[in-house]
Structure 1
Amino acid sequence: MSRAPSVCDRETWNRTLAYLLLGFVCYALPWSVFAALPIPPDQSSALRLQGSNTIGAKLGPALVKGLLEQQGFSSIRILPGDAENEQKIVGINAQGLDVTIEVAAHGSGTGFVGLSDNTADLAASSRPIKSSEADALTALGDMKSRDAEHVVALDGLAVILNRDNPLDALRTEQVAQIFAGEISDWAQLGGRPGAITLYARDDNSGTYDTFKELVLSANGKSLASTAKRFESSDQLSDSVSQDPNGIGFIGLPYIRQAKAVAIAAGESQPMLPSVTLIATEDYPLSRRLFLYHPPQQANPWVAALTRFAHSPRGQAIVNESGFIAQTVQAVTVAANEAMPAQYQTLTREAQRLSVNFRFQEGSSTLDNKALRDIERVASYLKDQDKLRDKVVLVGFGDAKKDAARAELLSKLRAMAVRRELAKHGVLFRDITGLGEEMPVAANSADEGRIKNRRVEVWVY
């Protein structure tokens, strides 16, 4: 059983004594005693969540509310905060005391600044922490470690148009040219003539950071200065939906009245941002939503919220909030002629699980999400009585000069997943590597190569 971090400074020690005097059990005790999370005696916020607007606008408050409900709080309200895009979640415990949790949603980068200057306990981010940000927070510990980084949901960046726009699909390089201002009229793409209007998130937004990395920078482009910028996802989406010549990018729950187009990258086929393609992270503009905290975090509310976010109820709230949960499901895949024969056989005889295992950059080591997905997949296989001779692992990789080397590396990735699942008693039907077949992203950039280096799980 996991334990909360020990107390490490005088300020935290003083707070701990205060909590104990109020009769609450606090730090350095088993998780099971957190049925009564401490309320600060000075009526300050028990938890300060800061960062991504994508998370903070809806998902963050919903997870906080769910945690309070689980902990037995009543009269839970979500109230406006002290500024725009800020909220307070307030509840009452069994002793009649109020607890307040603050959520500020001003962009992913602001969450890491908040951890640095101690104005936040937990950072919400719709992109991975940058190396420069992790370096700036070194005094707090390794912010890229499994103890610090939590993938709580999956999302897809949708490229959105007005519903009357006849275009249905775009390649990522075309999207980059559009937002760089190089393609400025819809007629250049075979659409109706009209000057294209660009709508983009602001510089603090993790959504913008993700778009910049996956689309603009990957194609050597920069955002045109004519783009209209928004802090609010809802406002951006509504503006595009009301503009016949508009185009924007947005998180999946914020498509609202606009139209999402199918996206292709590299040699992949155009894909709409569907639940399954985002869950497996095959969709070219899929992304992860993160919570970050110092690995030796002393505030028990931080541990409580991150653990709740990973729980079945927490993942149900992810789904209810319009994002993609990490709950493992079996899905049927339709065969097509472009698939290798061996893969077509799988589509006819088995089902694919809604998870892909991916690896740390430049490494054969599973990344933090994959390590948690091992536990999710093992639990699913046990519940479905599929631990013995029912599982096939299929590895994929990026293109190499030697196709045989690509195939070998892809099988070695599958073997790395095998080793971890075998610890949970899984006996496999087959393990194979398909090399550079069926890419889901362009191999011309690191981000694309990382996405192509993956392992799928199929069950009979």
Structure 2
Amino acid sequence: MRHLRAAFWAALILLATALAAQAQDVTLRSRDGAIELSGTLLGFDGEFYRVQTRYGELTVDGSGVACDGPGCPSLTDFVAEISISGSITVGDVLLPALVEGFALQDGYSAERVNEGARRFSYILRQPESGTIAARFHFRLTSTDEGFADLLADEADLVMALREIRPEEVNLAKQAGLGTLDDAKRSRILALDAMTAIVAPTNPVSAISMNELSRVLAGEIDNWRELGGPDAPISVHLLHPRSGIAQAIDDRLLRPASRTLRPDVVRHETNRLLSRSVMRDPLGIGIVSHSEVGNARPLALNGSCGFTLTADRLTIKTEDYPLTAPMFLYVPARRLPKLARDFLAYLRSGPAQIIARRAGFVDQAPEEVEINAQGDRFANAIRVAAGEPGLARLKRMVDILTPLRRLTTSFRFEPGATRLDAQSRSNLQQLARAIEAGIYDGRQLVFIGFSDGRGAAELNARIAKQRALAVKQAVEASVAKTHLEHVSLSTDAFGEAMPMACDDTGWGRQVNRRVEVWVR
């Protein structure tokens, strides 16, 4: 027994010695030898060392120090290593296409190397020498696991189909990764939407948000209650770790204090889910708009008769309430220069074209003429009650007729004054467009709308305040010299042009918005 104890303690001492040696795997010395810093090398971006020391995590400019130790990287043959983990929907087609587009634009060759189930890498090489400049390592898992990999320091970027949750924000802060729900810590790669689907033979063509929530909770379990046949409803959803499945809980079930029925049929991918619903005449599912396939999408309706369908324009303007931005979360740490160049590329025009060609909705603003507003003006006429309502309608038509609506819209988080995630991205996009001179010599009018609850005069004032808040946010994001070349103004029409019914929370949320119109 004593021999066993002695062997155990000897092994423990050897392990501690090895760990201590690893903890001092690099030493950084200033050129004059006056300063010396030892610690664990956490990363090197070709310019800066990131080292865990007894003083905490430090970032040191590589040009001013010499590195000694087994962990020191090569300065002449540096390869940027970028690890990306998370949503299969984002990582299957969209982000690889963006990596290839970035490589083409910056003159690299890109080679895809498959490394097993849902793992692959892109190797970017210099075209003339063939030397490797970067490796993008992909791990397709789920939004949940992507954030877990980031917290475990096994990923640099996270692909997500939902916004980061408060508990994940807190864990990231504790891990020194910054405030991940800040607009600077994420990129929206493209836009998608959660779409309810049925088999082509199903006679039901529309469903309300409340009915959809009740179906998911099992409170409605027969198609007869939705205008269909007298038959039970089967529900198909993605696996519970997926971003869309979690967004369904966050946006459809939890706000209504409902829980998911226990007999849901789960699927690993949108494609498999869509195919299963297409073959199930009594099934209903929720998939990404980009992967509806041959199933039939359901419109969203309400008791007032308004109907909303998911298409490119309604998703881009966020008029469709179940939009689902595709996020790339970026921690507050210094990434290699090539990775930073890639993140800058994601905001560019060519990246938006690639997103659209990949089957998703891009964020590039479009101008929609007054005669292409769909049912919006029909809705406005329907709710214009009495002389005051008709007067507001006439003023709105007079002002909007010479303008065009931008697909850039702004909405706020429920019960808050903070812009939602898609709108925060829109704010940055619009600010960059103004700085680029795209709207030089033109007038941008921020027009506020409200829901129909309360007095019309009060609604108009609230809508005007929202429009002014968005205008001021844009002005704060743009250099003053650029604002001299574009005219920014505000107006408001309150409840005059509803998008959805006011009898539900989601309908009121859709109606409370700030649109941008351009002359």
Q: Partners of 1:89 and 1:230 in 2: how far apart?
A: 28
Q: 1:78 to 1:450 in 2, by over 3 A?
A: farther
Q: Choose which of 245, 250, 261 in structure 1 pairs with 2:298.
A: 261
What are the equivalent positions in structure 2 for 1:191-210 lying under 5 Å apart?
A: 191-210=228-247
Partners of 1:369 and 1:411 in 2: how far apart? 22
2:131 matched to 1:97?
yes
* Aligned counterparts of 1:28 and 1:436: Cα–Cα separation in 2: 57
1:323-379 deviation per Cα after TM superposition (whole angstroms, max 9, x unaligned): 111101111314312365144445644321111023466654556324313325536
Query: Which SS does the other structure have where 1:16 is aligned?
Result: coil
Q: TM-score if structure 2 supplies the norm length? A: 0.74
> In structure 2, do the counterparts of structure 1 residues 291 and 234 end up closer, same or farther at CA, with 3 Å as the change threshold?
same
- For residues 318 and 97 of structure 1, what CA distance do their matches in structure 2 show? 29
* Cα separation, 1, equivalents of 2:94 and 2:507: 28
Residues 196, 285 of structure 2: 8 Å contact kept: yes
Assess, with a 3 A threshold, how the Cα gap between structure 1 residues 223 and 112 changes in structure 2: closer, same or farther: same
| Corresponding residue for residue 20 of structure 2 | none
Matched-pair contact (CA < 8 Å) for 2:383–2:496: no
Residue-by-residue CA offset, 1:282-336 (whole Å, 9 max, x unaligned): 1021122211111233333442332221111111111111111110111131431
Of 417, 422, 431 in structure 2, the residue corresponding to residue 375 of structure 1 is: 431
Counterpart contact for 2:190–2:363, Cα < 8 Å: yes
**C-alpha contact (below 8 Å) 2:44/2:336 kept by paired residues:** no
Query: 2:274 & 2:74 partners in 1: Cα distance?
Result: 38
The alpha carbon displacement at 1:405 in A equals 3.2
Inter-CA distance 243–405: structure 2 relative to 1 (3 Å threshold)? same
Counterpart in 2 of 1:88?
121
Preserved contact between residue 124 and residue 135 of structure 2 (Cα < 8 Å): yes
Query: Partners of 1:18 and 1:295 in 2: how far apart?
Result: 15
The residue number in structure 2 matching 1:32 is none
Does the residue aligned with 1:104 lie in a helix, a strand or coil?
strand
SS of alignment partner, residue 46 of structure 2: helix
Match of 1:298 among 307, 311, 335: 335
1:198-231: CA deviations, max 9, x gaps? 1101111111122222222233322221111122
- Provide the C-alpha distance between the structure 1 equivalents of 2:114 and 2:157, rounded to a whole number of angstroms: 19
Q: Is the contact between residue 52 and residue 205 of structure 1 (CA under 8 Å) also seen in structure 2?
A: yes
Q: Residue 81 of structure 1 contacts residue 102 of structure 1 at CA under 8 Å; is this kept in 2? A: no
Structure 1 partner of 2:11: none
Is the Cα contact below 8 Å between 1:46 and 1:301 reproduced in 2? no
User: C-alpha distance in 2, partners of 1:393/1:66?
Assistant: 34
Q: 1:346 to 1:80 in 2, by over 3 A?
A: farther
Residues 123-134 of structure 1: matches in 2 within 5 Å? Answer: 123-134=158-169
Tell me, in whole angstroms, the C-alpha distance in 2 between the residues paired with 1:53 and 1:411: 41
Show the 5 A alignment for 1:187-336: 187-264=224-301, 269-332=306-369, 333-334=373-374, 335-336=377-378
AA of the residue aligned to 2:163 = P
Identify the residue that residue 175 of structure 1 maps to in structure 2: 212
Cα distance in 1 for partners of 2:76, 2:195 equals 44
Distance 1:242 1:40 in 2: 57
Task: State the distance in 1 between where 2:440 and 2:339 align.
Answer: 35
Counterpart of 1:309, as a letter, is: L
Specify the alignment match of 2:221 in structure 1: 184
How far apart, CA to CA, are the structure 2 residues paired with 1:175 and 1:270? 14
Q: Deviations over 1:99-136 (max 9, x none)?
A: 43222222211121111001110011111111110000
The number of residues matched between the two structures is: 433
**Aligned AA for 1:90?**
I
**Tell me, what secondary structure is at the counterpart of 2:308?**
coil
Question: Contact between 1:88 and 1:101, CA under 8 Å: does it hold in 2?
Answer: yes
Q: Please say which structure displays the higher CA radius of gyration.
A: 2
Change (3 A) 1:343 1:17: closer
Q: Residue by residue, what CA displacement relative to the aligned partner does 1:366-405 show, whole Å, maximum 9, x if unpaired?
A: 563243133255368x436552xx4332112356645433
Q: Structure 1 length normalisation: TM-score?
A: 0.83
Match of 1:51 in 2: 86
Q: Offset at 1:55?
A: 0.9
User: Which among 393, 405, 411 is matched to residue 446 of structure 2?
Assistant: 393
CA distance in 1, matches of 2:305, 2:178: 39
Unaligned runs of 5+ in 2: 1-37, 50-59, 63-72, 385-392
- The answer to whether residue 514 in structure 2 is matched with residue 458 in structure 1 is no
Opposite residue 200 of structure 1, the aligned amino acid is: L
**1:416 equivalent in alignment to 2:469:** yes
Structure 2 equivalent of residue 338 of structure 1: 382
Matched, 1:432 2:519: no
CA contact (8 A) 1:391 1:428 kept: yes
How far is 1:450 from its partner?
Answer: 5.4
1:56-95 correspondence runs (5 A)? 56-74=91-109, 76-83=110-117, 85-94=118-127, 95=129
Is the alpha carbon distance of 1:13 and 1:350 closer, same or farther for their aligned partners in structure 2, counting shifts above 3 Å?
A: closer
What percentage of residue pairs aligned between the two structures are identical? 26
Match in the other structure for 2:25? none
CA 1:151–1:209: 2 relative to 1, 3 Å:
same
Partner of 1:5: none
Residues 120-153 of structure 1 deviation map (CA, whole Å, 9 limit, x = unaligned): 1001111111111000000211112232122222
**CA apart distance, 1:184:** 2.1
Match in the other structure for 1:16: 46
Which has the larger displacement, 195-204 or 211-220?
211-220
Alpha carbons of structure 1 residues 39 and 113: separation in structure 2 relative to 1, 3 Å: farther
Q: Which residue of 1 aligns with 2:185?
A: 148
- Bigger mean CA deviation after superposition, 41-50 or 326-335: 41-50
Question: Is the partner of 1:156 in helix, strand or coil?
Answer: strand
Tell me: CA distance 1:213–1:242, structure 2 relative to 1, closer, same or farther (3 Å).
Answer: same
In the alignment, the residues of structure 1 paired with residue 125 and residue 501 of structure 2 have an alpha-carbon distance, to the nearest angstrom, of 48
RMSD of aligned alpha carbons: 3.3
Evaluate the alpha carbon distance shift between residue 229 and residue 343 of structure 1 in structure 2; reply closer, same or farther with a 3 A threshold. Answer: farther
Per the alignment, residue 23 of structure 1 pairs with none
Which is further off, 221-230 or 428-437? Answer: 428-437
